[in-house]
Amino acid sequence: MSELQWMLIRDSSCFLVRRNGMALSREPGNLTSTHSFKYSTLAQPSVAICGTDAGVSLVRRSKAAHSKVSASFTKPVVIKKTAAGKNRALKVARDMEATGYRLDLVRAAQAKVCALLGSYKTRKNVTKKLRANKLAKLSSN
């Protein structure tokens, strides 16, 4: 069934973006933004990773209630902003393996979670130390 859906939407999806010889996708839930059967959320079950105030949430879409969109999403698993790098990757892997849900997307999901949580970090203003010669020139002027 999903192969048939993919054959129909492959060339005429409204989420398809073709630029510079690449086919990208704007589908919500597409982990790598590539337009391919493996990552398509229209043809296959999806794992959506969204940034929230608390951190990052993983939301799975079940096929059981596919006709009722609001009921088809499971409760999100929240990974807090303060989670260490190893813990956040393990939490994603454990959650996806425990449910047996799209095990082929574990690596892509881990990479996206780490990238989203890394974007929450604020940069510290670090002043550059001036060399002695340059410092002397500035102080003499």
Model pLDDT for residues 45-60, shown as the tens digit of each residue: 778 888 888 888 888 7
57 bridge partner residues: 50, 78
- Record the pTM: 0.72
- For the cut 80, the answer to whether the pLDDT of residue 94 exceeds it is yes
Q: What is the pLDDT of residue 17?
A: 93
Given pLDDT bands bounded at 50, 70 and 90, which one contains residue 65? low
pLDDT given at position 72: 67
Instruction: Give Cα separations from 26 to 63, 84, 97 (angstroms).
Output: 21, 29, 26
Tell me which residue has tokens 């303060």. Answer: 82
Most confident of 26-30, 76-80, 86-90: 26-30
Which residues are CB-neighbours of 67 under 8 A, at least 6 positions away? Answer: none
Structure token pair of residue 3: 């192969």
**pLDDT reported for residue 18:** 93
Res 24: pLDDT: 92
Bridge partner list, 78: 57
Give 9-21 pLDDT, tens digit per residue: 888 889 999 999 9
Supply the pLDDT for residue 139. Answer: 79
